[in-house]
Amino acid sequence: MADEPKKPERENQSVLDDIGALAKGLKTTLGEYFSPQVTTEYPEEKSPRSERYRGRHYLRRYDNGLERCIGCELCAAACPVGCILVIAAENSDENRVSPGERYAKTYEINMLRCIFCGYCEEACPVQAIVLGPEYELSDTSREKFIYTKEKLLEPLPPDVQARLDSRPHPDPLPPAGEGKT
């Protein structure tokens, strides 16, 4: 039978094990300390979103100020949850709002029901409705989640415009003389 280590030897071994464990822990701590920082200082900093991220909606205008939306309601028909309301009205020479025969007198999206599928954007024949990258959509009442036409017509943020500009196919042109992209 092998001799048992003497008491001082066992204590020395125990101290060496403790120092080894301490060094191992310190190695982990120092490794993390000097590794690149991954914490994002939200909300000052925002993590990058995919180019195809679908967030808040916008309605677009042509460069001459006319609204792109022609009130065709294709977006409302394509919406799987029925959260778009379009009520169209006729354009007239005295009140021309869009290049087409009609324009959207009322355009509303219930953002509480929207599932951000992007079908409305795909269905629109004149690329009037687009989804941008904005995802901070919290608010203080249910009513504020009904996005009205006025809110949807707010100027496009630069990153949304850049995304549109980078598309392989240019925007469709409006009828001659009534607008341009």
Residues that bind ligand SF4 (CB under 6 A): 69-75, 78-79, 81, 83-84, 86, 104, 109, 114-120, 123-124, 126, 128-129
Smallest distance from ligand SF4 to CB 104, Å: 5
Smallest distance from ligand SF4 to CB 160, Å: 15
Taking the least distance from each CB to ligand SF4, the nearer of 20 and 125 is 125
| DSSP one-letter code for 143 | G
Taking the least distance from each CB to ligand SF4, the nearer of 53 and 119 is 119
Smallest distance from ligand SF4 to CB 152, Å: 9
Taking the least distance from each CB to ligand SF4, the nearer of 80 and 158 is 80
Taking alpha carbons only, the member of 87, 75, 172, 169 closest to residue 130 is 75
Tokens of 100: 């087409």
Amino acid at 170: P
The rounded distance, in Å, linking the Cα atoms of 19 and 21 is 5
Taking the least distance from each CB to ligand SF4, the nearer of 123 and 137 is 123
Smallest distance from ligand SF4 to CB 57, Å: 7
Burial (CB count <10 Å: 0-12, 13-18, 19+), residue 121:
middle
The rounded distance, in Å, linking the Cα atoms of 56 and 176 is 31
Smallest distance from ligand SF4 to CB 54, Å: 6
Taking the least distance from each CB to ligand SF4, the nearer of 36 and 125 is 125
Task: Region of 56 please: left (phi>0), alpha (psi -120 to 50) or beta.
Answer: beta
